[in-house]
Amino acid sequence: MLRRAALLLIVAASSWMALLLVTREGPWSGRVLMSFTPSHGLHVSDLPVVGVWAAVVAACGFLWFSDGSSSRR
């Protein structure tokens, strides 16, 4: 129970941080890869943020569905 609560907290925190990083604007953002609105879109500089977020969510998903037992003896 505590393990799953911790995983949910990790996913929520990393999602919030990724959202904050992706929504920033500036000349350093690079070219727009995909536009969502006339003034917002996915920039080249957003790719590492999205990649790290996806890795965190995938790792948490793996831990969520693993049985939690160790194979060490």
pLDDT tens for each residue of 12-64: 999 988 887 877 766 677 888 999 888 788 888 888 888 999 999 999 999 88
pTM: 0.72
Using CA atoms, how far apart are residues 32 and 40, in angstroms rounded to an integer?
9
Domain boundaries, the chain: 13-65
Q: How confident is the model at residue 73 (pLDDT cuts 50, 70, 90)?
A: very low
Helix locations, 26-68, DSSP H: 47-65
